[in-house]
Amino acid sequence: MKQQALLCLLLQLAFELSSGTNLWVVPGSSLELPCFSFQTDFPGAAITWKFNGNEINANTPNGSPRVKQGGRYIFISPVTAANEGDYSCLIKDNDREMITTYKVRVDASFNYSIKVIKGSTAHLPCHFQPAGEVKANALWFNETGLGNELLNPEGDNRVELLYPLDHDQTIIIRDVGMQDAGTYLCRSAEGAKLSSVNLIVEVAPTAPPHSCSGFTTPWEPCQDENSRTGEPMLQESITEFSMKLYSYLRESQPSSNLLFSPISIIGALSHLLLGARGDTRKAIERAVCVPHDFHCVHLQMKKLREKLAGSLQMASQIYYNPEINLNQSFIDQSIQFYDAKPVMLLDTSENNTEMINSWVANKTNNKIQHLVDSVSPSTQLMLLNAVSFTGQWKVKYEMKPRKGLFTKLDGDLVNVQLLYHPKYMVAMTYVVQLKAQVARLALTGDSSLYILLPSSRKVSDLQLVEESLTDTAVRQMIQEVQKTTPEHVEVTLPKIELDVQPDMNMLIKKLGLSSLFESSNLCGLYSEERVVLDDARHRAFLALNEQGVEAGAVTTISFSRSFPSFSALRPFIMLLWSDTANVPLFIGRVTDP
């Protein structure tokens, strides 16, 4: 939307007598050209507009360009390449004549001039128009003295296309040298020019020494530990944050299976927040939708973790390089709020990989056994959060194996194993705002699995539901379904095992935290050197079987004819919800079980 607004610049122009005015215009925008200044008036004068020497007909009501107010203006909307050329306005009365001219050039490309410090990473921006599907990546060229040289992100490890097949075709050039200065061009595969970047490389000014002075105070105490507003405030933050993440993920992956645990991501970010100061603190607070003066956020996270402990176990951990000295008050608060005593990293990458993967396996109850392939020797700090969820069905499903057909988004049928129950207590209702049929299956440990079934298997119907899925709509849905009386229904669900690794680095950027990759103020945690974020990951696993849900959930339900029926044998969205804490634990989408 923002980009569209940008393209819709309405140019109000001050006019310049006789000396033709040169104008660059972006296609799709609107252009208004005045014939003469507002102060002057020419009563009774005849006004004629010409485009490339040909008169523009003033009497065509919806023509483009359209002559307005008897010739005082012409208006062009939307501007296209055909509008490129010379426009002139001739005013003639008895004793004088005046001509105003404009040279209009239409250019879709954006010109950027970017200044970076030698040795740093340069981001070169390039965007496709927001409308339309991205079928091929843009091509980036280096304008050298010997012509344009195609950059090869695959073959050159200094160059990386950040978001392949996304509307954002930004590339980065790592470790920029003086020889990289110059012009870079981004073109679509069809040859349309999208952006031109003039890269200026400068030698770093003698950088001010890293200083945490003024930033080493501990996290503020929570003034009112028993305040009634703390808990609902955190619930709101988590739900808002969760739905924001879902919307980022669905945009980048419109049709595949999805799964993530918002509670785990917020657990890691709020732990990091404990040591963040200055702008980094503000950026994380904004990202996790927490008000700046909400000093009780860590205490509330602790209470939430304790409240959920019956069904969801959450664990945090910090690994750090033995060469750095973590601040003692941070260590104390980390233990107090996150039950995490920082642990030193070992000598080799293999030992660290092994240590971290076994911690992850242990804390996820062996559901996720592998997270990292290696640990770089330059790693200073690693912050981890793991959650493990187990919820059993209130009534067990039939053990006899059954098979059925799930209809995918493209209409293909896939054979799936089914969970079947002839008479299961389900609360279900059609939620108008979400345009979806919603069923709630209660689990042990005060949690529920909500399944949101769009009107059909079509992508457009799935998208209708996803677009309406805001935090407010989800809260209303939960209330509405909780008011619905459960009834006996014949339930058929697909058996599912999802194991998904959403792109956390992309999420970090979308959350407005890309500055953490360049410089993070973690002065509360460690104040001796500057640290920067270099990698972020998320992996979620969810299995749905005869016993219940492990770590997350996926479901298919169907009812026999004599009962009302709810059949999810086509793509659906699901939310694993904690009824006690009133926050989402896992969110997923099943398009291919």
Ligand X SMILES: *[C@@H]1O[C@H](CO)[C@@H](O)[C@H](O)[C@H]1NC(C)=O
Nearer to ligand X, 180 or 503 (CB): 180
Nearer to ligand X, 69 or 217 (CB): 217
Which listed range, 225-233, 358-366, 373-381, 563-571, lies at the site for ligand X (CB under 6 A)?
Answer: 358-366
* Residues in 522-581 at the binding interface with ligand X, rule: CB under 6 A: 527
Task: Compute the CA torsion angle 259, 261, 265, 270 (nearest 10 deg).
Answer: 160
Q: What are phi and psi of 171, to 5 degrees?
A: -115, 160
Nearer to ligand X, 109 or 417 (CB): 109
| Total Cβ atoms within 10 A of residue 311 | 23
Task: Report d(CA 240, CA 235) in Å as an integer.
Answer: 9
User: For the window 298-327, what string marks contact with ligand X as x by the rule CB under 6 A?
Assistant: -----------------------------x
CB of 177 to ligand X, least distance (A): 7
User: For the window 173-212, what string marks contact with ligand X as x by the rule CB under 6 A?
Assistant: x-----xx--x------------x----------------
| From 222, 346, 464, 473, residue interacting with ligand X (rule: CB under 6 A) | 346
| From 32, 84, 107, 480, residue interacting with ligand X (rule: CB under 6 A) | 107
C-alpha distance across the termini of the chain, in Å: 33
| From 211, 351, 415, 456, residue interacting with ligand X (rule: CB under 6 A) | 351
User: Considering the rule CB under 6 A, would residue 216 count as an interface residue with ligand X?
Assistant: yes
- In the numeric block, which tokens belong to residue 306? 């304790």
User: Considering the rule CB under 6 A, would residue 217 count as an interface residue with ligand X?
Assistant: yes
Cis? peptide before 130, omega within 30° of 0: no
DSSP state letter for 302:
H
Supply the DSSP string of 490-557, one letter for each residue. EEEEE-EEEEE---HHHHHHHTT-THHHH-B--TTT--SS-B--------EEEEE-SSEEESS-----
Q: What is the CA radius of gyration of the chain?
A: 30
Task: Report d(CA 379, CA 383) in Å as an integer.
Answer: 11
CB of 105 to ligand X, least distance (A): 7
CB of 232 to ligand X, least distance (A): 29
Burial (CB count <10 Å: 0-12, 13-18, 19+), residue 521: buried
Nearer to ligand X, 267 or 524 (CB): 524
Q: What are phi and psi of 591, to 5 degrees?
A: -120, -15
Residues in contact with ligand X, counted by CB under 6 A, come to a total of 24
User: What H or E segment, with its residue span, contains residue 196?
Assistant: strand 193-202
CB of 365 to ligand X, least distance (A): 5
Task: Report d(CA 104, CA 336) in Å as an integer.
Answer: 65
CB of 533 to ligand X, least distance (A): 21
User: Considering the rule CB under 6 A, would residue 152 count as an interface residue with ligand X?
Assistant: no
User: Considering the rule CB under 6 A, would residue 366 count as an interface residue with ligand X?
Assistant: yes
Nearer to ligand X, 358 or 460 (CB): 358
Nearer to ligand X, 211 or 229 (CB): 211
Amino acid at 195: S
DSSP state letter for 279:
H
- In the numeric block, which tokens belong to residue 426? 């389900």
Distances (CA, A) of 200 to 158, 182, 519: 17, 7, 21
Burial (CB count <10 Å: 0-12, 13-18, 19+), residue 191: exposed
Nearer to ligand X, 350 or 497 (CB): 350
Nearer to ligand X, 276 or 557 (CB): 276
| From 3, 111, 113, 415, residue interacting with ligand X (rule: CB under 6 A) | 111
User: Considering the rule CB under 6 A, would residue 334 count as an interface residue with ligand X?
Assistant: no
Nearer to ligand X, 431 or 542 (CB): 542
CB of 212 to ligand X, least distance (A): 6
* Residues in 5-34 at the binding interface with ligand X, rule: CB under 6 A: 24
Bridge partners, 379 (sequence order): none
Nearer to ligand X, 153 or 254 (CB): 153
| From 64, 142, 417, 580, residue interacting with ligand X (rule: CB under 6 A) | 142
User: Considering the rule CB under 6 A, would residue 37 count as an interface residue with ligand X?
Assistant: no
Task: Report d(CA 439, CA 446) in Å as an integer.
Answer: 16
| From 362, 374, 376, 482, residue interacting with ligand X (rule: CB under 6 A) | 362
User: Considering the rule CB under 6 A, would residue 148 count as an interface residue with ligand X?
Assistant: no
Nearer to ligand X, 247 or 336 (CB): 336
Q: What are phi and psi of 318, to 5 degrees?
A: -125, 125
Maximum alpha-carbon separation in the chain: 100
Which listed range, 290-298, 299-307, 359-367, 490-498, lies at the site for ligand X (CB under 6 A)?
Answer: 359-367
Amino acid at 416: V
Report the SS3 class of residue 438.
strand
Phi/psi zone of residue 107: left (φ > 0), alpha (ψ -120 to 50 degrees), beta? beta
| From 125, 218, 342, 445, residue interacting with ligand X (rule: CB under 6 A) | 218
User: Contact positions toward ligand X, by CB under 6 A?
Assistant: 24, 107, 111, 142, 144, 151, 159, 173, 179-180, 183, 196, 216-218, 327, 329, 346, 350-351, 362, 365-366, 527
